[in-house]
Structure 1
Amino acid sequence: MPRMIVRQSRAPPPDPHRILSAGIFDVDGVLLASPHERAWREALTGFADPARFTTAIYQSQVAGKPRFSGALAALQALGVPNAAQRAEAYAESKQRRLEALIGAGAVSAFADALRFVNAVRTLGFPIAVASSSKNANDMIRRIPLDDHHSLFDVFGANVCGRDLPAGKPDPAIFLLAAAELPAVPEHCFVVEDAPAGIEAARAAGMAALGVARLHDATSLQAAGADLVVTSLDEVDLDQLSRGRLCRRIHEKS
C-alpha cells in the first residue's frame, strides 16, 4: 500500500492577539491591472499554444514569481519539452512583450486599491511596496495621484525588482520590506493576490490579506490567508485602526 505523504506548512499559525501597524503591498493584481498575464500568454507563440495559458495557470504557477522561475513553471505546467533549456528565451520574449504593452498604456490602477492605500496612510501606518517584477516601478510611476505625485511616491519603502536569493513563496522580499520601513514583521500585513505571495507572507510571520479579483478565493484561503476579500473596500478600517484585520460588516437598513 503506497505511503501517504502529508505536506505541512512551515508558517506558524496566525496569532489572533497580534497588533498590526504596517502594510506591505504587492503590485500586479493588487494595486494594478497590469498586462503581465497577457504578456506571458502572447509570448508563448513558438513555445506552446497561447490559448492553453489560462488565468488559472497564471495564478497558480507564475504570479508573484521572478521572471525565470515563472517562465520555467509555465512551460512545465504546459508540458513543453526541454522546458529548463527554453525558459530563458521564453522569459526574454515575455519581457519584450510586456515592455511594449506598458509603453502602449495597458496599465491601470484598481480604484479600491487606491482608496485602501490612502486609508492605510491616513491611519498613520507606514507602507511598503514589494514585487518581484523589475517592471513594477515603471508601472506605478504611471499612476498619477495628483498634479505632482504618482503612486510611486507614497511608499515609505520600495523593494520592487530587487535581486534576491529566492523568490516567492520564499519570504525574503517581505522581510526586506519590513526591515526598510522599518517595522517588526509580526506587526505587518501583506496584501497579495497570488498563493505564492500568501505563502511568503505567512513564512515571514506576517498577516496575509488575499485579494480574490479572479474568483480564486479558495486557492488564497488554502495558501493560508488570514482574510480573503474580493475588493479592498471590504476591509474594516475601524478594526484595522485597532491593529486587527477583519471584514467590514454591512449593517442592514
Structure 2
Amino acid sequence: MNHALAQPRVLTTAIFDVDGVLLASPHERAWREALEGLADPARLTSKMYQAHVAGKPRMAGARAALEALGVTDAVRQAVLYAERKQRILEQLIHSGNVVAFPDALRFVQALADLGWRMAVASSSKNANGMMKTIHLASGQSLLDIFSVNVCGRDLPHGKPDPAIFLLAASELKTDPACSFVAEDATAGIEAARSGGMTALGVARVGDAAPLLAAGADLVVGNLDEIAIDRLACGWLCRRAI
C-alpha cells in the first residue's frame, strides 16, 4: 500500500471509473443473481468478480465470468447471461440500491474546489443513470460535477484497452500524462498505464495486491487517504498520518 510513484508527474486532470470507485452500485449483485440456472451464484465471489468482470464491457464481462466458472458453451450462454444481468440491474437501480461512497463525494468535491477538470469514464451504459440519482450538497447530481462524461460510449475495445481513458483525456483537452485515473479493477489499472496515465488503485475490498501487480502507481483503501494539499500542486500521494 506504500507503493510510490515511479516517475512523479505534475497532474492537472482526473478521470474516474464509477462502479467501485464512486458508487457502491448493484452491478456485482446483479451479475451474481443472474447466474441462477447457469452456475451456483455463490461461486461468483467478490474476488472473482474483481478479477474477471469488473471494469469490462457487459458482454466481455459475461463471457469472462462464465469461462472462469467453467460453464459449458460460455460464448453462447454469455448473451443470455448479460441480458438477464441487465434486467436485474435495472430493477435494483429503480429500487434505490445505488449508494455513493462518502469518501468519493468528498474527494471529487475537493478537486472541484481546486478547479481541477474531471472526467467520468465507465464502460457501463447504466453509469449515467446511477450517478443522476446521487445528489450533492450544492444541489447538483454527481454526474453534473464532471466536465467530461464518456460513460457507455461504443468503442472498438474495452478495458484493458486504454481507448475510453484516451477519449476522456482528449475531451478534457489534456495530455494523458497529465491525468490520473482512479480505478478499482485490474483491467482499468492496465488501461490507464497503457494510455500513459498515472493509475490510482482504490482497494475497497482489500485487493491492493492485484492492483499493484497490474501496475497501479499508488493504491489506497479509500480516497480520504489522498493528500489534497499535494494535489493542489499537481502531486498524487498519500496524506501524512
Q: Which has the larger radius of gyration?
A: 1
Does TM, scored on the shorter chain, surpass 0.5? yes
In structure 2, the residue matched to 1:160 is 151
Cα displacement (A) at 1:15: 5.8
**SS of the counterpart of 1:166?**
coil
Distance (Å, rounded) in 1 between the aligned partners of 2:230 and 2:132: 31
In structure 1, the residue matched to 2:32 is 41
Q: How many residues align?
A: 237
In structure 1, the residue matched to 2:21 is 30
Query: What is the letter of the counterpart of residue 45 of structure 1?
Result: E
In structure 2, the residue matched to 1:62 is 53
Cα displacement (A) at 1:148: 3.6
2:198 maps to 1:180: no
Aligned 1:135-214 pairs, distance under 5 A: 135-146=126-137, 148-214=139-205
CA-atom RMSD, angstroms? 1.0
TM-score (norm 1): 0.92
Of the three residues 124, 145, 157, the one matched with 2:115 is 124
Aligned 1:27-106 pairs, distance under 5 A: 27-106=18-97
In structure 2, list runs of 5 or more residues that go unmatched: none
**SS of the counterpart of 1:45?**
coil
Distance (Å, rounded) in 2 between the aligned partners of 1:17 and 1:245: 8
Distance (Å, rounded) in 2 between the aligned partners of 1:21 and 1:39: 36
Cα displacement (A) at 1:184: 1.0
2:206 maps to 1:249: no
Q: Deviations over 1:52-96 (max 9, x none)?
A: 110011000000000000000000000000001111110000000
TM-score (norm 2): 0.96
Cα displacement (A) at 1:216: 0.2
Distance (Å, rounded) in 2 between the aligned partners of 1:181 and 1:202: 18
Q: Deviations over 1:89-142 (max 9, x none)?
A: 100000000000000000000000000001111111100000000000000000
Runs (4+) of structure 1 moved beyond 6 Å? none
Distance (Å, rounded) in 2 between the aligned partners of 1:190 and 1:149: 23
Cα displacement (A) at 1:178: 0.6
